[in-house]
Amino acid sequence: MAKGNKKINLRSIRTLMVFCQMLLVLFTIQWLVSQYDTQRDELKKNLTKLFTDIQHKVSDSLIIEHVIDPIAAEGGVAGTKSTDNNLASIALSPGSIHKVLGSTISKNEEQSLFKMDTIAFNELFANQMHQNGWDFNSQWVNNNDSNKNGKSIFIKSDFFTQDNGIVVSDYHPYLFLRLLPQLLFVLILLSLTATAFVITFKSLRSQIKLSELKDDFIGNMSHELKTPISTVKLALEALNNYNIIDDPKLSREYLGMATSEMDRLELLATRVLNTSLLENGNMHIQRESHDLQELVEEVIRNMQLRFAQHDAKISFVTNGNKFIVPVDKLHTQGVLVNLLDNSLKYATTTPSILITLSERNGAVQLSLTDNGPGIPEEYKEKVFEKFFRVPDGLRHNIKGYGLGLSYAAQVMRQHNGTINVNNLNDGGCVFTLTF
């Protein structure tokens, strides 16, 4: 039930993280859209100012050409001088002539004059935009129907009652370029938050998994400790309360049982301690030159009683004659004992184990092949993790605490060697140690 709750909580946390990331994405998109609209409004404001200035300049030019010059020509020298004096008193800024002569010509005349040169006005407006660094397309339109889709900027002319004016298009790349810093900021922000969420989720998942493995380890370890403690306790009670101590034969039998169980406790404590020390780097491997063939033969001799209990068939084959390598004898034999112990414990039929020692490209390989159930492909790498046990139907029927293969992997790393496992097509698997 606790594990189910952990999975549900983990799933809820992942959903919450994804939801938060989506909200952040929507917020940044909304912020970018608002920034785009702000940049577009600013651009339209600048274009409108440019349009107004050019419109006044063109207006002044047309009025001079079609009104002032003809009046000066008709008035002769005196009229020209009088007109020049009037103009000299005017600050010649854009639109100034238009303001002074506004009462001289009618609005219809102004519009008529302005309509005469819209093409030239459009060219002047385009050139001025280009000088300002705005490579946009501009077009004079007689109405604003072309801007119904909102993709263009329309600037209305002051000289017409209808929506006539300039339509500016193809300005989007300019705005996107202006928004490039904001866009880069958003991408970096989203990448950092997504990475933080992923790392946090993976770390949390690993912690939950480690917690589950530790719970399993404590359960398995408690079971491992309970059996020998109970056996030793019963043996001592029998010796103390039932006068068995007066019977030498029974005394030796009960003392032998107690001694055997204490050896199991010592082996268990030593294995846990060695694994912890190797993991923390506090145990130093003492590498000396040893013949691996002799080490393997010694382990096989010491485990004959275990093999006999399981009716196991053991074969040892060598390929080559140079097996002397610098290893720590105690830990190397410990690795082999762990592998053999697993082959015996997990065998579903009469155990058949083949140990092969061979020379390969200047290295020495020690492989152990058994006829057990094998290891599922998805767990081939995980079996070397601390506390990990393959989750199958035999899990609760086989004693273990997920330290044997972890210990073997750590010893091989200390020897600068490797350990790997592969399944066989006809069942079983083969562990290969390379020194």
Average pLDDT value over all residues in the chain: 76
Determine the pLDDT at residue 337: 83
Do residues 206 and 293 both lie within one domain?
no
Instruction: Find the distance separating the first CA and the last CA of the chain, reported in whole Å.
Output: 45
Of residues 90 and 103, which shows the higher confidence score? Answer: 103
Q: Are residues 12 and 142 in the same domain?
A: yes
Helix (H, G, I), strand (E, B) or coil at 135: coil
Q: Which amino acid is at 107?
A: K
From 152, 178, 204, the end of a domain falls on 178
My answer on whether 170 and 211 are in the same domain is: no
Q: Based on the domain organization, do 122 and 226 belong to the same domain?
A: no
Radius of gyration of the chain (CA): 46
Beta strands per DSSP E along 20-122: none
- Residues 160 and 113 sit within 8 Å (Cβ to Cβ): no
What is the predicted pLDDT for the residue at 162?
A: 63
Question: pLDDT digits over 113-125, tens only?
Answer: 555 456 777 788 8
pLDDT digits (tens, 9 = 90+) for 190-204: 999 999 999 988 888
Beta strands (DSSP E) in 310-428 are 313-319, 324-327, 352-360, 363-369, 418-423
Average pLDDT over residues 266-291: 70
Same domain, 28 and 166: yes
**Of 261, 280, 299, the domain-final residue:** 280
Q: How far is residue 365's CA from residue 249's CA, in Å, rounded to a whole number?
A: 47
How many structural domains comprise the chain? Answer: 3
User: Are 124 and 85 found together in one domain?
Assistant: yes
Look up the pTM and report it: 0.47
Which has more confidence, 218 or 39? Answer: 39
Q: Residues 166, 43: one domain?
A: yes
**Residue 221 sits in the same domain as residue 174:** no
Q: Rounded to whole angstroms, how far apart are CA atoms 390 and 421? A: 14
Most confident residue range from 78-92, 118-132, 182-196, 370-384: 182-196
pLDDT at 422 over 60: yes
Per DSSP bridges, beta strands 324-327 and 288-291 are: antiparallel
Please tell me whether residues 170 and 101 are part of one structural domain: yes
Give the structural domain span for 192: 181-280
Section 181-189 average pLDDT: 92
